[in-house]
């Protein structure tokens, strides 16, 4: 796009005071906090208008976003990314423009991995991979890499995501659902000693936190077969609390809930499980290819990995996952208390002992008021409270980055709403 006002293309600046003519013919737009608050409209004769949106001047400009994912990110991480967007640490380019094989990006991915290792105390027996394709791709990767087509494997299904993982596995091995919460509408977790595990199963799969139903494992089962491993989809509670990684063969998680933007999938895998993929496994789904190439076999989601790295730094700066968990318990507690003390006006169907710290589903006794609840909350800057389309009701996702103030505001709103409609 031409930038000179003497060309046929035109520049229309709603805030002309920031337009500085330059002797070189290139016009420079100094974006400061004050000037950036006003939109700039750039129009070319042959293309659509490009509008640079105003930068929020302060945290008050932001909503409390209760979305299940992509989800809210920490304020200071966004600020840091904003400050480094145009020119990353003097590199003269943004992270989005860097070669994934250059020294700058290598330092970013290596730091992200080493900070994640610190956070979760991951030993050298495990590889950490930054992949693409979402947790959904892992539903296929896991069986393709861990077993042969005739191998039996066990799935505990505590919600929709576990069910999807099971169904995908059926294409690549012989999975069996050894427990399903479906008859109770996915409101519980089984007692581990009641599980009828297949002694020959190659692995036992769980979804550590069911994002839609708000059911979370507080402890983990052990596979009956001593040669088998426990595998967990931790997409929606990854890095929300300390986890003993050594109990698992594989942990996988999409980043877009607790640790970054969508587009990055993190896989933590015990190294001895790598290298046994079925012959039909596409290269992009073969853990060995990614482990041998330090997640750089092909072009990785560089900017997303950079953002995850900033989140990991932030979590370490908060004191690590022990401190993060304390905050998460406090936030969840005040929300569940508000529900339980509402005398039935609000109701959470999940068994108390396994309620998720991350995703809090609830219904209104007067279900006809649910749409109004969501609408009124949005007017007050609290968005994405509608429950998943498959279950209805409401859901507040309160991941690491949701501040306590957001939950307090929601609880105050719930009390007001009840006073008006109770
Ligand atoms: C627990 C869980 N597993 C898997 C997925 C699918 O993740 P993706 O969209 O990254 O494939 C989700 C998405 O919300 C999820 O919450």
Cβ(135) – ligand 1 distance below 6 Å? yes
Looking from the CA of residue 159, the nearest atom of ligand 1 is: 1
Looking from the CA of residue 256, the nearest atom of ligand 1 is: 10
Q: What domains are there in the chain, each with its CATH number?
A: 1-55 (no CATH), 95-317 (3.40.640.10), 321-421 (3.90.1150.10)
Cβ(187) – ligand 1 distance below 6 Å? no
Q: Please state, in angstroms and rounded to a whole number, the distance separating the CA atoms of residues 128 and 287.
A: 10
Whether the per-residue pLDDT at 46 is higher than 80: the answer is no
Q: Give catalytic status of residue 416 as yes or no.
A: no
Residue 22 confidence (pLDDT): 40
* Burial letters 390-409, b for 16+ CB under 10 A, else e: ebebbbbbbbbbbbeebbeb
Looking from the CA of residue 137, the nearest atom of ligand 1 is: 11
Residue 51 confidence (pLDDT): 65
| DSSP reduced 3-state for 93 | coil
Q: Please state, in angstroms and rounded to a whole number, the distance separating the CA atoms of residues 70 and 82.
A: 18
Nearest-5° angle of CA 175, CA 265, CA 285?
55
Share of residues in the chain with pLDDT > 70 (%): 86
The mean pLDDT of the chain is 90
- Which residue among the candidates 174, 257, 327, 331 is catalytic per the annotation? 257
Ligand 1: residue of 67, 137, 161, 208 to mutate (most ligand atoms within 8 A of CB) is 161
| Stretch 71-84: mean pLDDT | 97
Angle between helices 404-421 and 321-340 (to 10 degrees): 0
Query: What length does the chain have?
Result: 422
Q: Give catalytic status of residue 233 as yes or no.
A: yes
The tens digit of pLDDT for each residue in 280-312 reads: 999 999 999 999 999 999 999 999 999 999 999
Angle between helices 103-120 and 302-317 (to 10 degrees): 40
Q: Which two tokens stand for residue 412?
A: 């105050």
The tens digit of pLDDT for each residue in 212-268 reads: 999 999 999 999 999 999 999 999 999 999 999 999 999 999 999 999 999 999 999
Instruction: Give the end-to-end CA distance of the chain in Å, rounded to a whole number.
Output: 58
| Stretch 176-193: mean pLDDT | 97
| Stretch 154-183: mean pLDDT | 98
- Which residue among the candidates 233, 241, 286, 327 is catalytic per the annotation? 233
Residue 40 confidence (pLDDT): 52
Query: What residues pair up with 51 in beta bridges, in sequence order?
Result: 41
| Distance in Å, CA 284 to ligand 1 centroid | 19
Cβ(233) – ligand 1 distance below 6 Å? yes
Unique residue bearing structure tokens 């932001």: 62
Q: Please state, in angstroms and rounded to a whole number, the distance separating the CA atoms of residues 256 and 82.
A: 18
Q: Please state, in angstroms and rounded to a whole number, the distance separating the CA atoms of residues 218 and 201.
A: 23
């Amino acid at each position: 796009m031409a930038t000179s006002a003497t060309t046929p293309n035109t520049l229309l600046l709603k805030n002309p005071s920031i337009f500085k003519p330059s002797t070189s013919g290139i016009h420079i737009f100094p974006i400061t906090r004050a000037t950036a608050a006003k939109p700039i409209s750039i129009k070319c004769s042959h293309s659509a208008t490009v509008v640079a949106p105003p930068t929020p001047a302060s945290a008050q400009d932001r909503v409390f976003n209760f979305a299940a994912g992509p989800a809210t990110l920490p304020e200071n991480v966004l600020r840091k990314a904003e400050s480094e967007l145009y020119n990353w640490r003097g590199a003269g380019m943004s992270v989005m423009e860097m070669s994934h094989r250059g020294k700058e990006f290598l330092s970013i991915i290596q730091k992200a991995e080493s900070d994640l290792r610190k956070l979760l105390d991951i030993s050298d027996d495990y590889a950490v991979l930054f992949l693409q394709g979402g947790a959904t791709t892992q539903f296929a990767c896991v069986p393709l890499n861990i077993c042969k087509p005739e191998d039996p494997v066990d799935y505990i299904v505590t919600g929709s995501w576990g069910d999807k993982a099971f169904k995908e596995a059926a294409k690549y091995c012989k999975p069996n659902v050894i427990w399903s919460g479906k008859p109770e509408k996915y409101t519980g977790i089984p007692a581990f000693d009641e599980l009828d595990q297949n002694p020959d199963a190659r692995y036992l799969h769980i979804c550590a936190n069911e994002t839609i139903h708000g059911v979370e494992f507080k402890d983990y089962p052990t596979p009956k077969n001593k040669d088998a491993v426990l595998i967990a989809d931790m997409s929606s509670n990854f890095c929300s609390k300390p986890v003993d990684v050594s109990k698992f063969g594989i942990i996988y998680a999409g980043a877009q809930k607790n640790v970054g933007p969508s587009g990055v999938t993190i896989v933590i895998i015990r190294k001895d499980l790598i290298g046994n993929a079925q012959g039909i496994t596409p290269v992009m789904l073969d853990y060995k290819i990614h482990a041998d190439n330090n997640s750089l076999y092909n072009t990785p989601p560089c900017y997303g990995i950079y953002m995850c790295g900033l989140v990991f730094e932030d979590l370490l700066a908060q004191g690590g996952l022990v401190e993060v968990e304390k905050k998460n318990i406090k936030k969840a507690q005040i929300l569940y208390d508000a529900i339980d003390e509402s005398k039935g006006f609000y109701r959470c169907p999940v068994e108390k002992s396994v309620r998720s710290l991350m995703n809090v589903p609830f219904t209104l006794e007067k279900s006809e008021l649910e749409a109004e609840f969501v609408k009124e909350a949005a007017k007050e800057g609290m968005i994405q409270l509608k429950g998943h389309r498959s279950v209805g009701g409401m859901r507040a996702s309160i991941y690491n980055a949701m501040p306590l103030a957001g939950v307090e505001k929601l609880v105050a709103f719930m009390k007001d709403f009840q006073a008006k409609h109770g």
